């Protein structure tokens, strides 16, 4: 049913599996003995963070924050709001922020600065997708699944008006869906 609204599959289920395995191995090496705090930014992080953490063979703690930048449309508003804070002290912790996508970078920049201000020892980003052409602030995610062009995509956590997050792959939405 959801598939009829998708113009093109950009990152398939198989590719997502490979990405999670590759990044999971890399993170396991880099964070061995560091007991990282893996923070997911709700709600887009859910499928990717879920898969990625099961591909990491080390001890970790998980936490969530809900920070919004998009308000239902397809353009970033630049207006960032913390809807749910972490609730875990981050002093001297190594943080891995997991995201579905980095676009302008504004959301993550705000969160990274906040965690650094609260005393985190290190903060790195693990993202399924990176749209470097969309970048407005200087931000270099260290762990990137794959780079995509400046297209509006949905699926695997990414939504359009709260829908399509449950697609098992990442795809480009047919323009008529959001021109309705
Ligand atoms: P940034 O602050 O512009 O980097 O925005 C990051 C957030 O914007 C992501 O967590 C998504 O929620 C949303 N976003 C950015 N690009 C897309 C897209 O192509 N589809 C759906 N949501 C997107």
Task: Please check whether residue 134 is in contact with residue 141, taking contact to mean a CB–CB distance below 8 angstroms.
Answer: no
Of 5, 103, 130, 159, which residue is the catalytic one? 103
Q: Mind listing the pLDDT tens digit for each residue in 100-124? A: 999 999 889 989 999 999 999 999 9
Kindly state if the Cβ of 152 falls inside 6 Å of ligand 1.
yes
How far is residue 96's CA from residue 159's CA, in Å, rounded to a whole number?
22
What is the b/e burial string over 116-154, where b = at least 16 CB atoms within 10 angstroms of the residue's CB?
A: eeeebeebbbbbbbbbbebbeeebebebbbeebeeeebb
Mutation pick for ligand 1 pocket among 103, 133, 145 (CB with most ligand atoms within 8 Å)? 103
Q: Mind listing the pLDDT tens digit for each residue in 29-73? A: 999 999 999 999 999 999 999 999 999 999 999 999 998 765 555
Kindly state if the Cβ of 173 falls inside 6 Å of ligand 1.
no
57 noted as active-site residue: no
* Ligand 1 atom closest to 136 (CA): 3
Q: Tell me, in angstroms, the distance from the centre of ligand 1 to residue 112's CA.
A: 16
Predicted model pTM: 0.93
Q: Mind listing the pLDDT tens digit for each residue in 128-152? A: 999 999 999 999 999 999 999 998 9
Kindly state if the Cβ of 99 falls inside 6 Å of ligand 1.
yes
3-state secondary structure of 177: helix
């Amino acid at each position: 049913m959801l598939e009829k609204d998708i113009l093109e599959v950009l990152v398939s289920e198989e590719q997502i599996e490979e990405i999670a395995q590759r990044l999971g191995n890399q993170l396991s090496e880099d964070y061995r003995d560091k007991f990282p705090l893996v923070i997911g930014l709700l709600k887009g992080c859910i499928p990717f963070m879920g898969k990625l953490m099961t591909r990491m063979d080390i001890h970790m703690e998980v936490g969530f924050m809900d920070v919004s930048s998009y308000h239902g449309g397809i353009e970033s508003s630049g207006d960032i709001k913390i809807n749910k804070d972490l609730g875990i002290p981050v002093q001297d912790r190594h943080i891995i922020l997991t995201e579905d996508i980095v676009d302008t970078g504004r959301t993550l920049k705000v969160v990274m600065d906040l965690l650094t201000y609260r005393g985190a020892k290190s903060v790195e980003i693990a993202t399924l997708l990176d749209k470097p052409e969309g970048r407005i602030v200087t931000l270099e995610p260290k762990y990137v699944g794959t780079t995509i062009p400046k297209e509006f995509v949905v699926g695997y956590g990414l939504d359009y008006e709260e829908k399509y997050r449950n697609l098992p792959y990442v795809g480009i939405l047919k323009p008529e869906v959001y021109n309705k």
